Amino acid sequence: MEPDTGPCCASPSGTGLLRAATGSRAAPGGLSASLPGHRLLRAAVLLLLTRLCCSGSVPDIAVHFGTKTRYEDVVRPGLNLSSAAAGCSPVHLTAVIRHGTRFPTVKNIRRIERLSRLVQSQAPRGHGAPSWLREIQEQWQQWYTEDMDGRLVEKGRADLRNLAMRLFSSFPGLLSEAGLRGGGITVKTSSKHRCVSSAEAFQEGLHQVWDRYVHEVDDSLMRSFERCRGYVEGVETNATATEEVDRFKHGPELRQVRARVSERLRLEPDFLPPDLVEAAFFICSYELAIKSLYSPWCRLFTKEDAKVPTDPSLVVVYPRLVPLQSSFCPRFVLGKSCFSPRFVFVSSSVSPASVLV
């Protein structure tokens, strides 16, 4: 799978950071302060409807979708963000938020197109083919186009709006409209279009106002790995950094999955390279995430098979994380007071790129 390593401040594919200034107690603004209960009810209803509409036809391999998993499928029941110890009130909120549901990137759209043409032209038709294979050949349409290229889908915007409403319902004093417009709340995002769109959608959900966005594109923070010498020299321009990926793609685990998937498609194994096995898995995950559909492509994989195509993404991501872990850690240290641990911000002059692994 494509590397998609988590929060925006620690990976190339995450989105915006919303931060309420420490100690800030901006006066709540109109709609923001008056309807916290309404917002909470609306967010709960939207989440419930989404789960009711989509939960009836979820493939059992969905637990292995990794970064392509639907957000509503991982919401923990009973999570209460607003609970606080007696006598305490929140003074600061930092939210590191991943971008919403998106289309495949151009690279994967081209793979999906190749796979579709292969199955249409080479897989035998007619008597004896399972119903799901006939559905792929006769009914399924390759609807992804290259201009989609990883852009946020409408459901992805809804992901962020709903998240914002839930956060506002828990912390109305920290996430007031006055705080956002007055600079007490900063919203930062990377220049990736899906991240910018997610930052906009979050603000729409926060205060129900469209086309009035207050956010900063800051790649030096949100895509700092691009300026990290340990990453650039050790991974990005290092031809040996992905040797483990190549070993995995030609290893016994994926070879066995290729053989089984080829047999189900009634193709010769040599016709189906590893990247097209991965593409079939992506179709299953994207169509569930974007359209809430149980795609016929999901029938290609058993639960055991599905454990394998997710592994390449981990093999790709690991070399990125090693230099990043060492470069980000000096920014924050755990300080101690006589009462309780606290986080102390170390001078920003400490550059992430100066710590190499």
User: What stretches of 21-176 show up as alpha helix (H) in DSSP?
Assistant: 30-34, 36-54, 106-122, 131-138, 154-170
- CA–CA separation, 203 vs 334, rounded Å? 31
* DSSP category for residue 189: E
pLDDT for res 38: 53
pLDDT for res 91: 78
pLDDT for res 258: 92
Q: Which tokens is 34 given?
A: 């008056």
* DSSP category for residue 73: G
DSSP codes joined into one string, 266-322: T--GGGS-HHHHHHHHHHHHHHHHHH----GGGGG--HHHHTTTTHHHHHHHHHHHH
pLDDT for res 42: 53
pLDDT for res 282: 94
pLDDT for res 4: 38
Catalytic annotation on 207?
Answer: no
Mean pLDDT for each consecutive 10-residue tract of the chain (357 residues)?
A: 35 36 31 41 48 63 86 73 70 86 96 96 85 93 96 95 88 79 83 94 84 84 83 79 77 90 92 92 95 94 84 55 51 37 35 14
pLDDT for res 79: 61
Q: Which of 5, 2, 1, 19 shows the shortest CA–CA distance to 224?
A: 5
- CA–CA separation, 296 vs 67, rounded Å? 21
State the Rg of the chain over Cα.
23
Its pTM stands at: 0.72
pLDDT for res 240: 80
Domain-wise residue ranges, the chain: 1-102+151-222, 104-149+237-319
Q: What's the mean pLDDT when you consider all of the chain?
A: 73
User: What stretches of 151-273 show up as alpha helix (H) in DSSP?
Assistant: 154-170, 177-181, 193-207, 219-222, 229-231, 243-249, 252-265
**Catalytic pick from 64, 99, 207, 215?**
99
Tens-place pLDDT, residues 207-244: 887 678 888 898 888 888 888 887 788 777 877 877 77
